[in-house]
């Protein structure tokens, strides 16, 4: 089947054991905080909640142990949808406990401080002893706040990953030929089709939204799969249905080369990549591998260039000089390059007018305050979402169509970008 099926090393087994011990300690302390927060409720309610707490906690720990054992089977490791579902299940119940631990820890610190103060100044206690009685406010507040990550994760995996944002972005340039003024380019990126399992509904919905826009051109900027070409097989017919009058073009992203899993031979890995390339053709996409095409309207032309993956901290397969060669005489050029760090390190100064990238996913997490969205992605990438400009050169970073790792999106919806080229 092309993959090496590893066994768990002693180091990995030890690390997993430490991880489980930490989880149990967090469970015990969160349980203590839960008891403190519910101290004023009836015994029946407390017993029911305690029972549910430990049933869920023991169940999650059991699933983690079972999944770690199952992950050693290469067939299971190919089922990304299954593994990502386990991640979501873990986060759904672990993050609220972590919040409880933080708030209850503050509650305990406050209690210790008040006890110490009462020892130093015993007269400060009131006659009833209420002064050293534990204040439950922080533990109760923690129980309320814990509902936020629980709700966020639940929304992200049920609704957040399905609610596409149609981002309409005007891109202005004085170099654009008049015949291309108003050209509508739909950009999609980072589908990660293996993350959906057998569910075609989200991709089908995205295709319907794109076709409803009646784009002139559709471009896909990499990461069709997580690792394996077979992940895309069930989606070929659906994606073949995408329509654009000037055609559909694509490039490869870092995940498409299948560099992350272990292969039994380079031949098997190479065959996987060749199959993925063939799938692009079957879907009706012209895969650009360090090359370019000319688009013509009314006798005027622009260049559409596609470079293989080049990232500052990722694979550097792309040859930008080869990609550009022969396109220098075109008045306006669009480059498809998966990783936005390529724009900073090589594309700037090359004369490329517009670069379209993806890769960051917007971290699949964002918080909007006013008109500004904040994301962990901005701690990692200088250019992580939206339109950027440096002199006459522009970069647009798509937030991604799909998901990987965490099977959802919170405050960072999947994106279909509609770029309208405008001559100024």
| Parts of the chain belonging to CATH 3.60.21.10 | 166-423
Q: Which two tokens stand for residue 259?
A: 């560099």
The DSSP secondary structure of 54-74, one letter per residue, reads HHHHHHHHHHHHHHHHHTTSH
d(CA 96, CA 93) in angstroms, rounded, equals 6
Backbone phi and psi for residue 166, each to the nearest 5 degrees, phi listed first: -90, 100
Give the pLDDT of residue 72: 59
Residue with tokens 């930490």: 22
Backbone phi and psi for residue 72, each to the nearest 5 degrees, phi listed first: -70, -15
Residues 6+ apart with CB under 8 A from 351: 324, 328, 333
Show pLDDT as tens, one digit a residue, over the chain (424 residues): 454 444 567 887 888 889 899 999 999 999 999 998 888 889 999 899 999 999 999 998 898 888 777 765 545 567 888 889 889 999 999 999 999 999 999 888 888 887 787 778 765 554 444 443 445 788 889 989 999 999 999 999 999 999 999 999 999 999 999 999 999 999 999 999 999 988 999 999 999 999 999 999 999 999 999 999 999 999 999 999 999 999 999 999 999 999 999 898 999 999 999 999 999 999 999 999 999 999 999 999 999 999 999 999 999 999 999 999 999 999 999 999 999 999 999 999 999 999 999 999 999 999 988 888 999 999 999 999 999 999 999 999 999 999 999 999 999 999 999 999 999 9
- Closest of 337, 350, 342 to residue 393, by C-alpha: 350
Residue with tokens 């901290």: 313
The burial of 300, by beta-carbon neighbours within 10 Å (0-12 exposed, 13-18 middle, 19 or more buried), is given as middle
Backbone phi and psi for residue 257, each to the nearest 5 degrees, phi listed first: -80, -5
CATH topology of domain 166-423: Purple Acid Phosphatase; chain A, domain 2 (3.60.21)
Give the pLDDT of residue 203: 98
Measured torsion, CA atoms of residues 142, 148, 149, 152, in degrees rounded to the nearest 10? 170
Which residues are bridge partners to 410 per DSSP?
365
Give the pLDDT of residue 41: 87
Q: pTM of the predicted model, to two decimals?
A: 0.88
d(CA 46, CA 389) in angstroms, rounded, equals 58
Give me the helix-helix angle, 80-120 and 147-155, nearest 10°: 170
- Closest of 85, 107, 117 to residue 35, by C-alpha: 107
CB atoms < 10 A from the CB of 418, how many? 17
**Residue 327 vs residues 165, 338, 348, 349, 408: alpha-carbon distances, Å:** 33, 20, 16, 15, 40
CB atoms < 10 A from the CB of 18, how many? 10
Which residues are bridge partners to 373 per DSSP?
368
d(CA 131, CA 133) in angstroms, rounded, equals 6
d(CA 235, CA 289) in angstroms, rounded, equals 22
Q: Which two tokens stand for residue 215?
A: 């784009």
Residues 6+ apart with CB under 8 A from 329: none
Give the pLDDT of residue 137: 82
């Amino acid at each position: 089947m092309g993959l090496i099926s590893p066994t768990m090393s002693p180091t990995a087994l030890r690390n997993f054991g430490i991880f489980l011990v930490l989880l149990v300690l967090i469970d015990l302390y969160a349980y203590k905080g839960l008891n403190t927060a519910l101290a004023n409720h009836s015994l029946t309610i407390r017993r029911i909640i305690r029972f549910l707490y430990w049933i869920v906690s023991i169940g999650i720990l059991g699933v983690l142990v079972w999944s770690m054992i199952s992950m050693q089977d290469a067939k299971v490791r190919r089922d990304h949808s299954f593994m990502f579902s386990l991640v979501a299940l873990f986060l759904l119940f672990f993050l609220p406990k972590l919040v409880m631990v933080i708030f209850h820890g503050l509650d305990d610190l406050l209690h210790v401080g008040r006890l110490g103060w009462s020892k130093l100044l015993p007269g400060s206690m009131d006659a009833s002893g209420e002064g050293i009685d534990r204040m439950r406010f922080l533990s109760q507040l923690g129980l309320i706040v814990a509902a936020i990550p629980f709700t966020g994760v639940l929304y992200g995996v049920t609704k957040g990953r399905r609610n596409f944002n149609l981002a309409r972005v005007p891109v202005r340039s004085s170099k654009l030929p008049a015949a291309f003024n108003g050209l509508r380019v739909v950009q999609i990126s980072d589908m990660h089709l293996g993350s959906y399992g057998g569910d075609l509904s989200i991709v089908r919905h995205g295709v319907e939204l794109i076709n409803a826009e009646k784009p002139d051109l559709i471009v896909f900027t990499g990461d069709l799969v997580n690792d394996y070409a077979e992940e895309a097989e069930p989606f070929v017919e659906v994606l073949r249905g995408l329509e654009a009058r000037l055609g559909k073009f694509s490039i490869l992203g870092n995940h498409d080369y299948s560099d992350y899993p272990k292969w039994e031979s380079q031949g098997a890995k190479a065959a996987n990549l060749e199959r993925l390339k063939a799938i692009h053709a079957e879907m009706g996409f012209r895969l650009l591998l360090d090359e370019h095409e000319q688009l013509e309207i009314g006798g005027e032309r622009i260049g559409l260039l596609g470079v293989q993956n080049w990232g500052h901290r990722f694979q550097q397969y792309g040859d930008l000089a080869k990609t550009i060669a022969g396109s220098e005489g075109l008045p306006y050029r669009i480059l498809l390059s998966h990783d936005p760090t390529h724009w900073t390190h090589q594309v700037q100064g090359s004369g490329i007018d517009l670069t379209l990238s993806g890769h960051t996913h917007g971290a699949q997490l964002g918080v909007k305050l006013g008109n500004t969205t904040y994301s962990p992605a901005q701690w990692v990438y200088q250019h992580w979402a939206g339109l950027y400009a440096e002199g006459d050169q522009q970069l647009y970073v798509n937030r991604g169509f799909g998901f990987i790792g965490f099977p959802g999106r919170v405050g960072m919806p999947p994106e279909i970008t509609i770029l309208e080229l405008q001559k100024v």
